[in-house]
């Protein structure tokens, strides 16, 4: 009450103070007053204030207040609720608990009792001023699944002490790392049920829980609608952390050996003491993320399919290497094409296609379970590793009495699962095994029994089987049969409508009547059916022998279809005078001769096999004489056969027979026959062995009262061909203007058709030059005669020339063409008068011409002699041609020049500047001609040359600018001297020079005119004498001149023209133009010599 | 070897006696008396050849297998610490120690190593995931079995007893053997196999050389003895 007063007072004082704070004095007095009040108030500090009430469960309010701690000690309080039956509470603490009060306002009186005095404080309290703060929770359980990195939290909601149906919001926080970063915050809502209940919450961490510490705390909030006070979150529960990884799994890298779906994001961490240097995922390096002081991590996003041994994650430290393997793969695809069928109605085989590969192998590969819903049974896929990717199938044992099966194929692997469903009526999904043990047994010649084995229990169904029947003759036949299914697997069925004595090939396949799939064909079984009685008698014919004493019976072998077995023999019976006769002819023989001696009888033939005898075939031996005027007709066939027509004859009661034979064969004439019914009027005879160009005889018989009469006789060809040989012809007679030719018939077999005529060709010409073979070209010089009268055998050709050769050619022709021709060369006989005239006239003319010529020659004999035989000097007598043997001893190329009649040559040099050398030259050159050979021997060595050649005169202009040595231009007319020989005599001084300069051939270097000049230049020449230096200083020469290059020698005296005597050079030794007559000359030398030395002069 | 009496030269009786002694002992010379039994030489050569063949075979197998293990195991510079492969017999030995081994010890160590390695290799076969790899491993195991038999044959030929056969070491002594550690073991197994094959080739080459000249040496000594006489 006092407190209350003071509070009121203080508030009033406060108001006064505000009213008077304008005055300085008043402000000061107020400060003093306040101080006093404060003192007084301090004495009353034990008084409670700030009463606050909270509730944890809405049943009890927990109220507390503030009190001065200084004076609190030793203070006792009495709390009373005014106007309430609730008893007052005595306490020394500053809080109290009271049961929850009603909604109305309640006055709480707290009396403080202290040694310093008592005080009473009143508070007004209602529910709105009470806060609902739920009690702090304790996490009941916190566990971790390290393999899945999942935290599991359990806690109790204390629902028994909280109002029912209250909504509760839970907030859970997971912290990690050393610095407690928030990993996740989760909020959950529940409703209280009025009793304690455990709540669960789990959380899967992105990073493995082993990588770093994880902590968890939880708080909650109760949303009680009926509570009007303030609602607050509870306090956080104490932090709980998960215990570390199991000690025994002392791995350093996490997670270990994890299988994850492709595309996952993953964090791998390495927990080691030493620092991690690098991290590698597969083959790629990764950046490190530090989690705490001994844990680093790497993050891999969108992980791809691992190889079969997994993807390696490796952390490397300085001294060690840590790692793990992760397997990323796909969840199993939904099994595709799931199909269940049975082969034996004992077990069901379900097969499927696994679809997309999962990328996981070995223990992580997809596991399959086949679950049958009706029976609740399942089968697990037993992986056959050898055929892992080829065969996905499971076998389910059938349940007795159950036909409908509802299968679920469940596929699962560590990263997922899938399934496929199929509902199967097994009786409609029968795919039988392959039938086996096929056996055939006989019933009769046209029916057999087929036995086979088909494993399985088909007692409840009907089987549909297909039998394939094959014969070589009639081909393939398929027959479908139905068989009641058996438990015993042995089946049999009869097969009829077969042919006797026929090799059949059987095979069988089966299905169910509700067709699903055929089984595979069984193995083939060959079987020969039994023999049957021959179905008809053989086709027979008879021929009388020529003498009429015997009849030959012919019959045709029965066809396979008719024989029905192997024909063993033929039984022939006939009635003769001696009674019934029997003959037994073994099979390969198809004819029999019967001696009848012109008697008529009926002959019967029966074919017999092991099963019995055929019906008899009968024929009478009687023959009605043919009518008169039976002509042999000619028929040409239609290529493949012969067509016959005859008129209908009502008298013919049995049949018609056409028999035929090759006309060139000897008797009896029979190849084959064919029978036609009595009412027929024509027949086409086709016979495989008919050959073109072969003549056949055909005979048509009619049968009248079992007697045959020859109606027509026909000769024919199925097709005509040209004759194969030429007609053989000879020349019977020749005259000067005609030839008689005769030929022979061509044999029938070579004719190959009906002969229509001959072609005769003749042509004038020499023997061996005939072109008559190309007759058809219609050449005008070939004459032809067409002889159409085939009976004509001779031909006379007239109007020929006498003693003239003729080519003859004869050809026969048919409608099939013209045959080859035979050629012959004939010379007609000569005409004798013409020959005599032809000889006499030329002889007379020749005699006349001879006489005239003789006369003329005699008269003009002098002139003829001068013209044709003039006097010629003999060059052999010339001394110029006697060679000095020592020049080139042994040289075979040096021969006596063959002298021709030769006119002397003139060489004229026209010098324009200096006349002196010219004169000298003239004398030099002229010497061989002007002087006799004897003079030449006394002259200078250059003059011992005989020029004896009759060359063309070559006019050459040597340009004065052509060389330095040539002082000016000069006009030269010189002789191309080809033959010039060394004189026989040679002065001693020249020999010496030879010895000086003779080391080799030195052409064109210096061309001395005289010996003095030579001496002057000897020194120069010697130093260059070592070898041949052609054309060094000869640029002034016209090298195109035919002889200038080859007529050069440094020592002209020793030159040996055309001789291979030079040691050092062969340049000019073997002249290219004419090997036989060595060329070059001193005369030629003289020219060059002259020009060369002219400047020196 | 051949005892050669050393009588003073020049003494004709002594020379004659020596000659007689030599002739008397000639039939006892092993080198001259080996017409029937070829001795251990060919089998050592065969073992050596087999070792080289296995080396070649292992090169191919290891390439395939390391590729199967994936990177970094198939990287050329991959050289992990030998973490958990202590159980594998190591071929690495100090050179002096190796030189000091006698033939018997050498062969015994080879034999023991390969018998252990073979067991481990069969373990490798059990967890290889692909059929082709399993076939290669089985083939190699067969060859290795052959080598083991060959070594046993050589030891028998030389008269050495076979080392006692220990119990087959189980491949998984550590129950929760992780895939990674397994791969490390596989890697080391292949590596040790290779090193052992190298070492064996060297061992058998040495043995081969040692065996070959023994016959020649006797002949040489005989000649020397004769010249001494």
The answer to whether A644 and A672 are in contact (CB under 8 A) is no
Is B131 near chain A, with CB under 8 Å? yes
For residue A324, which residues of chain B lie inside 8 Å, CB to CB? 178-180
Q: Where are the beta strands (DSSP E) in A30-180?
A: 49-55, 60-66, 76-81, 89-91, 95-99, 106-114, 117-125, 130-132, 139-145, 150-156, 167-176
**What is the ipTM score, two decimals?**
0.74
For residue A280, which residues of chain B lie inside 8 Å, CB to CB? 71-72
pLDDT above 70 for A790? yes
* Region for residue A768 given its phi and psi (left: phi exceeds 0; alpha: psi -120 to 50; beta: otherwise): left
Structural tokens at position B26 = 């000639």
Which pLDDT does position A640 carry in this prediction?
78
- Residue-wise pLDDT tens digits, A890-907: 444 444 445 555 555 555
Which pLDDT does position B12 carry in this prediction?
56
Range A782-788 average pLDDT: 85
Cα diameter, chain A = 214
Which pLDDT does position A1012 carry in this prediction?
41
Range A895-922 average pLDDT: 47
Is B154 near chain A, with CB under 8 Å? no
The yes or no reply on domain A624-719 and CATH 2.60.40.10 is yes
b/e code A905-914 from CB counts within 10 Å (16+ = b):
bebebebeee
Range B20-27 average pLDDT: 54
Is A249 near chain B, with CB under 8 Å? yes
Which pLDDT does position A560 carry in this prediction?
84
Rounded to a whole number, what is the distance in Å from the CA of B173 to chain A's nearest CA? 14
Question: Looking at residue A430, what DSSP letter applies?
Answer: B
Q: Residue by residue, what is the 3-state secondary structure of B196-212?
A: HHHHHHHHHHHHHHHHH
The structural domains of chain A, with segments of one domain joined by +, span 46-130, 135-242, 254-329, 336-428, 436-528, 624-719, 729-769+781-835
Indicate the pairing of strand A139-145 with strand A276-281: unpaired
Structural tokens at position A543 = 């021929």
CATH architecture of A135-242: Sandwich (2.60)
A729-769+781-835 to CATH, choices 2.60.40.10, 1.10.630.10, 3.20.20.150, 2.70.70.10 = 2.60.40.10
Tell me the three state secondary structure of residue A1009: coil
The answer to whether A785 and A795 are in contact (CB under 8 A) is yes
What whole-number distance in Å separates Cα of residue A484 and Cα of residue A492? Answer: 10
Q: Which of A257, A282, A324 sits opposite B70 (nearest CB)?
A: A282
Which pLDDT does position A847 carry in this prediction?
93
- Residue-wise pLDDT tens digits, A485-517: 888 889 999 999 998 999 999 999 999 998 999
Least confident of A390-404, A574-588, A694-708, A911-925: A911-925
Question: Looking at residue B47, what DSSP letter applies?
Answer: H
Rounded to a whole number, what is the distance in Å from the CA of B43 to chain A's nearest CA? 38
Q: Domain A254-329 - what CATH class?
A: mainly beta
Range A1046-1058 average pLDDT: 39
Q: Indicate the pLDDT class of residue A1009, thresholds 50, 70 and 90.
A: very low
3-state helix, strand, coil in chain B (%, to 5): 70, 0, 30
Q: Which of B68, B131, B180 sits opposite A323 (nearest CB)?
A: B180
For residue A320, which residues of chain B lie inside 8 Å, CB to CB? 81, 83
Between A342 and A159, name the one with better pLDDT: A342
For residue B183, which residues of chain A lie inside 8 Å, CB to CB? 309, 312, 323, 325
Rounded to a whole number, what is the distance in Å from the CA of B174 to chain A's nearest CA? 10
For A632-674, the DSSP string reads EEEEE--SSEEEEE----TT--SEEEEEEEETTSPSS--SEEE
Which pLDDT does position A748 carry in this prediction?
84
Q: Which of A256, A311, A324 sits opposite B70 (nearest CB)?
A: A311
| Residue A939: CB atoms within 10 Å | 17
Is B97 near chain A, with CB under 8 Å? no
CATH architecture of A336-428: Sandwich (2.60)
Which pLDDT does position A1081 carry in this prediction?
38
Between A423 and B3, name the one with better pLDDT: A423
Least confident of A17-21, A106-110, B113-117: A17-21
Rounded to a whole number, what is the distance in Å from the CA of B131 to chain A's nearest CA? 7
CATH architecture of A46-130: Sandwich (2.60)
Is B132 near chain A, with CB under 8 Å? no
- Residue-wise pLDDT tens digits, A509-559: 999 998 999 999 999 999 999 999 998 999 999 888 877 788 889 999 988
Least confident of A183-192, A322-331, A838-847, A932-941: A932-941
Asked if A307 lies within 8 A of B68 by C-beta distance, the reply is yes
pLDDT above 60 for A956? no
Asked if B68 lies within 8 A of A308 by C-beta distance, the reply is yes
What whole-number distance in Å separates Cα of residue A212 and Cα of residue A54? Answer: 39
Structural tokens at position A410 = 């469940």
Which pLDDT does position B129 carry in this prediction?
66
Indicate the pairing of strand A475-484 with strand A462-471: antiparallel
Which of B65, B68, B69, B71 has the most A C-beta neighbours within 10 Å, making it the best mutation to test the interface with A? B71
Asked if A321 lies within 8 A of B80 by C-beta distance, the reply is yes
Q: Where are the beta strands (DSSP E) in chain B?
A: none
Which pLDDT does position A372 carry in this prediction?
92
Which pLDDT does position A894 carry in this prediction?
46
Rounded to a whole number, what is the distance in Å from the CA of B210 to chain A's nearest CA? 43
Which pLDDT does position A141 carry in this prediction?
87
For residue A386, which residues of chain B lie inside 8 Å, CB to CB? 131
Residue identified by tokens 């702090």 is: A136
Which pLDDT does position A218 carry in this prediction?
92
- Residue-wise pLDDT tens digits, A961-981: 443 443 343 443 333 433 333
Q: Indicate the pLDDT class of residue A108, thresholds 50, 70 and 90.
A: confident
Rounded to a whole number, what is the distance in Å from the CA of A317 to chain B's nearest CA? 11
Its pTM surpasses 0.95: no
Least confident of A5-14, A191-200, A722-731: A5-14
For residue B179, which residues of chain A lie inside 8 Å, CB to CB? 256-257, 309-310, 324-325
Q: Indicate the pLDDT class of residue B79, thresholds 50, 70 and 90.
A: confident
Asked if A283 lies within 8 A of B81 by C-beta distance, the reply is no
Range A809-836 average pLDDT: 84
- Residue-wise pLDDT tens digits, A1059-1096: 343 344 434 434 444 444 333 333 333 333 333 343 33
Q: Which of B70, B127, B176 sits opposite A307 (nearest CB)?
A: B70
Is A387 near chain B, with CB under 8 Å? no
pLDDT above 50 for B172? no
Is B176 near chain A, with CB under 8 Å? yes
Is B73 near chain A, with CB under 8 Å? yes
Asked if B179 lies within 8 A of A257 by C-beta distance, the reply is yes
Q: Which of B75, B131, B179 sits opposite A310 (nearest CB)?
A: B179
Is A621 near chain B, with CB under 8 Å? no
Asked if A257 lies within 8 A of B69 by C-beta distance, the reply is no
Residue identified by tokens 């066939």 is: A637
pLDDT above 50 for A1030? no
pLDDT above 60 for A406? yes
Domains along the sequence of chain B with CATH:
40-169+179-211 (1.20.1250.10)
Is A204 near chain B, with CB under 8 Å? no
Asked if B75 lies within 8 A of A283 by C-beta distance, the reply is yes
pLDDT above 50 for A637? yes
Residue in chain A nearest B66 by alpha carbon: A309
Percent of chain A with pLDDT over 70: 71
For residue B69, which residues of chain A lie inside 8 Å, CB to CB? 309, 312
What whole-number distance in Å separates Cα of residue B89 and Cα of residue A858? Answer: 140
Is B25 near chain A, with CB under 8 Å? no
Q: Which of B68, B131, B180 sits opposite A325 (nearest CB)?
A: B180
What whole-number distance in Å separates Cα of residue A92 and Cα of residue A110? Answer: 12
Residue in chain B nearest A314 by alpha carbon: B72
- Is A46-130's fold the same as A135-242's? yes
Among A residues 578-617, those touching chain B with beta carbons less than 8 Å apart? none
Question: Looking at residue A943, what DSSP letter applies?
Answer: G
Asked if B130 lies within 8 A of A248 by C-beta distance, the reply is no
Q: Which of A256, A282, A311 sits opposite B178 (nearest CB)?
A: A256
Q: What is the mean pLDDT of chain A?
A: 75
Is A257 near chain B, with CB under 8 Å? yes
pLDDT above 70 for B85? no
For residue B79, which residues of chain A lie inside 8 Å, CB to CB? none
Which pLDDT does position A890 carry in this prediction?
46
For residue A319, which residues of chain B lie inside 8 Å, CB to CB? 81
Burial of A1054 by CB count in 10 Å (0-12 exposed, 13-18 middle, 19+ buried)?
Answer: buried
Least confident of A677-686, A877-886, A1041-1050: A1041-1050
* Region for residue A456 given its phi and psi (left: phi exceeds 0; alpha: psi -120 to 50; beta: otherwise): left
Tell me the three state secondary structure of residue A352: strand
Sequence-separated contacts (24+) of B4-7 with Cβ below 8 Å:
B4/B225, B4/B228, B4/B229, B6/B228
Which pLDDT does position A361 carry in this prediction?
84
pLDDT above 60 for A938? no
- Residue-wise pLDDT tens digits, A426-445: 999 999 999 999 999 999 99
For residue B71, which residues of chain A lie inside 8 Å, CB to CB? 280, 282-283, 312
For residue A362, which residues of chain B lie inside 8 Å, CB to CB? 127, 129
Asked if A312 lies within 8 A of B71 by C-beta distance, the reply is yes
CA pseudo-torsion sign A560, A566, A568, A573: negative
For residue A314, which residues of chain B lie inside 8 Å, CB to CB? 72, 180
- Residue-wise pLDDT tens digits, A138-191: 888 888 888 888 999 998 888 888 878 888 999 999 998 878 889 899 999 988
For residue A315, which residues of chain B lie inside 8 Å, CB to CB? none
Q: Domain A436-528 - what CATH class?
A: mainly beta
């Amino acid at each position: 009450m006092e407190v209350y007063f003071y509070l009121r007072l203080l508030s009033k004082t406060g108001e006064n103070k505000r009213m008077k704070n304008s005055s300085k004095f008043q402000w000061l007095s107020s400060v003093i007053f306040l101080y006093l009040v404060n003192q007084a108030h301090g004495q009353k500090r034990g008084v409670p204030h700030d009463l606050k009430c909270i509730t944890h469960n809405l049943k009890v309010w927990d109220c507390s207040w503030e009190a001065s701690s200084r004076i609190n000690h030793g203070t006792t309080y009495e709390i009373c609720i005014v106007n309430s039956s609730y008893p007052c509470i005595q306490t020394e603490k500053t809080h109290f608990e009271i049961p929850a009060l009603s909604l109305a306002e309640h006055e709480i009186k707290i009396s403080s009792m202290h040694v310093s005095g008592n005080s009473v404080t009143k508070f007004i309290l209602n529910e709105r001023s009470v806060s609902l703060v739920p009690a702090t929770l304790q996490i009941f359980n916190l566990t971790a699944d390290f393999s899945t990195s999942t935290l599991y939290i359990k806690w109790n909601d204390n629902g028994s002490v909280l109002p029912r149906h209250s909504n509760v919001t839970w907030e859970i926080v997971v912290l990690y790392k050393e610095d407690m970063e928030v990993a996740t915050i989760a909020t959950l809502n529940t409703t209280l049920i009025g009793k304690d209940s455990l709540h669960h919450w789990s959380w899967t961490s992105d990073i493995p829980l082993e990588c770093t510490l994880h902590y968890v705390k939880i708080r909650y909030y109760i949303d009680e609608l009926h509570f009007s006070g303030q609602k607050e979150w509870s306090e956080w529960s104490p932090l709980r952390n998960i215990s570390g990884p199991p000690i025994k799994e002392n791995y350093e890298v996490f997670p270990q050996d994890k299988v994850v779906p492709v595309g996952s994001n993953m964090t791998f961490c390495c927990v080691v003491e030493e620092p991690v240097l690098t991290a590698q995922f597969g083959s790629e390096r990764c950046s490190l993320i530090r989690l705490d002081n001994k844990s680093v991590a790497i993050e891999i996003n969108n992980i791809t399919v691992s190889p079969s041994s997994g993807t390696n994650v490796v952390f490397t430290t300085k001294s060690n290497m840590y790692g793990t393997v992760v397997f990323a793969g796909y969840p199993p695809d939904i099994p595709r094409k799931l199909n269940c069928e049975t082969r034996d109605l004992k077990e069901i085989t379900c097969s499927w296609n696994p679809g997309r590969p999962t990328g996981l192998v070995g223990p992580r590969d997809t596991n399959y379970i086949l679950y049958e819903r009706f029976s609740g049974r399942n089968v697990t896929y037993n992986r056959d590793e050898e055929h892992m990717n080829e065969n996905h199938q499971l076998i389910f044992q059938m349940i007795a009495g159950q036909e409908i099966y509802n299968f679920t194929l469940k596929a699962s692997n560590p990263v997922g699962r899938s399934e496929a469903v199929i509902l199967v009526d097994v009786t409609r999904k029968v795919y039988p095994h392959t039938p086996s043990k096929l056996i055939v047994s006989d019933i009769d010649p046209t029916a057999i029994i087929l036995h086979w084995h088909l494993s399985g229990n088909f007692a409840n169904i009907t089987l549909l089987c297909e039998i394939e029947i094959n014969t070589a003759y009639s081909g393939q036949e398929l027959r479908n049969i139905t068989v009641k299914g058996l438990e015993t697997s042995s089946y049999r069925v009869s097969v009829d409508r077969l042919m006797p004595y026929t090799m059949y090939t059987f095979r069988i396949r089966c299905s169910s009547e509700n067709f699903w799939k055929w089984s595979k064909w069984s193995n083939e079984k060959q079987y020969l059916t039994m023999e049957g009685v021959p179905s008809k008698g053989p086709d027979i014919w008879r021929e009388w022998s020529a003498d009429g004493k015997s009849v030959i019976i012919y019959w045709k072998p029965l066809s396979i279809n008719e024989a029905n077995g192997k024909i063993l023999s033929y039984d022939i019976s006939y009635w003769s005078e001696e009674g019934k006769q029997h003959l037994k002819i073994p099979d390969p023989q198809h004819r029999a001769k019967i001696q009848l001696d012109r008697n008529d009888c009926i002959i019967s033939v029966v074919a017999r096999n092991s099963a019995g005898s055929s019906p008899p075939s009968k024929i009478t031996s009687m023959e009605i004489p043919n009518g008169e005027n039976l002509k042999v007709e000619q028929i040409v066939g239609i290529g493949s056969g012969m067509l016959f027509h005859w008129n209908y004859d009502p008298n013919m009661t049995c049949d018609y027979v056409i028999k035929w034979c090759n006309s060139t064969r000897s008797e009896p004439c029979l190849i084959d026959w064919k029978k036609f019914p009595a009412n027929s009027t024509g027949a086409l005879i086709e016979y495989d062995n008919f050959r073109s160009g072969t003549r056949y005889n055909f005979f048509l018989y009619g049968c009248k009262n079992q007697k045959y009469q020859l109606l027509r006789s026909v000769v024919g060809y199925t097709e005509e061909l040209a004759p194969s040989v030429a007609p053989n012809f000879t020349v019977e007679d020749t005259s000067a203007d005609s030839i008689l030719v005769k030929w022979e018939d061509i044999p029938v077999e070579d004719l190959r058709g009906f002969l229509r005529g001959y072609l005769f060709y003749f042509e004038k010409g020499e023997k061996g030059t005939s072109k008559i073979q190309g007759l058809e070209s219609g050449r005008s010089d070939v004459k032809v005669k067409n002889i159409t009268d085939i009976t004509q055998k001779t031909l006379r050709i007239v109007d020929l020339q006498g003693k003239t050769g003729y080519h003859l050619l004869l050809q026969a022709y048919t409608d099939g063409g013209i045959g080859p021709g035979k050629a012959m060369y004939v010379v007609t006989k000569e005409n004798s008068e013409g020959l005599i005239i032809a000889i006499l006239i030329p002889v007379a003319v020749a005699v006349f011409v001879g006489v005239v010529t003789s006369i003329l020659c005699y008269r003009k004999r002098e002139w003829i002699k001068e013209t044709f035989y003039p006097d010629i000097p003999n060059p052999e007598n010339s001394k110029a041609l006697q060679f000095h043997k020592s020049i080139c001893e042994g040289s075979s190329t040096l021969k006596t020049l063959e002298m021709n009649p030769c006119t002397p040559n003139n060489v004229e040099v026209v010098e324009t500047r200096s006349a002196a050398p010219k004169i000298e030259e003239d004398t030099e050159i002229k010497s061989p001609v002007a002087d006799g050979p004897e003079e030449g021997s006394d002259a200078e060595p250059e003059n011992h040359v005989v020029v004896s050649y009759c060359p063309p005169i070559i006019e050459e202009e040597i340009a004065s600018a052509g060389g330095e040595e040539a002082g000016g231009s000069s006009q030269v007319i010189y002789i191309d001297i080809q033959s010039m020989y060394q004189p026989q005599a040679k002065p001693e001084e020249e020999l010496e020079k030879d010895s000086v300069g003779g080391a080799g051939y030195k052409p064109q270097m210096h061309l001395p005119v005289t010996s003095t000049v030579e001496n002057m230049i000897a020194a120069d020449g010697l130093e260059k004498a070592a070898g041949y230096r052609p054309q060094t200083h000869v640029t002034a020469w016209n090298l195109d001149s035919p002889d200038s290059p080859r007529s050069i020698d440094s020592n002209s005296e020793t030159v040996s023209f055309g001789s291979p005597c030079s040691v050092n050079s062969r340049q000019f030794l073997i002249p290219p133009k004419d090997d036989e007559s060595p060329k070059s000359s001193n005369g030629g030398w003289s020219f060059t010599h002259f020009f060369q030395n002219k400047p020196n002069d | 070897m051949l005892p050669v009496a050393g009588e003073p030269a020049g003494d004709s009786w002594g020379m004659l006696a020596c000659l007689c002694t030599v002739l008397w002992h000639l039939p006892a010379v092993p080198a001259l008396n080996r017409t029937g039994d070829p001795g251990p030489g060919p089998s050592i050569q065969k073992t050596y050849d087999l070792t080289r063949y296995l080396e070649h075979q292992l090169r191919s197998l290891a390439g395939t297998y390391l590729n199967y293990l994936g990177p970094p195991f198939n990287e050329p510079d991959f050289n992990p610490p030998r973490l958990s492969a202590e159980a594998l017999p190591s071929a690495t030995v100090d050179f002096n120690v190796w030189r000091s081994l006698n033939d018997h010890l050498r062969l015994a160590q080879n034999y023991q190593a390969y018998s252990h390695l073979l067991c481990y290799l069969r373990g490798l076969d059990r967890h290889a995931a692909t059929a082709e790899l399993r076939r290669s491993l089985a083939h190699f195991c067969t060859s290795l079995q052959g080598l083991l038999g060959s070594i046993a044959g050589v030891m028998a030929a030389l008269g050495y007893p076979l080392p006692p056969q220990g119990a087959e070491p189980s491949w998984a002594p550590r129950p929760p053997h992780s895939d990674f550690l397994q791969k490390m073991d596989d890697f080391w197994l292949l590596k040790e196999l290779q090193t052992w094959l190298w070492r064996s080739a060297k061992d058998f080459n040495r043995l081969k050389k040692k065996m070959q000249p023994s016959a020649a040496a006797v002949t040489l000594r005989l000649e020397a003895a004769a010249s001494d006489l």
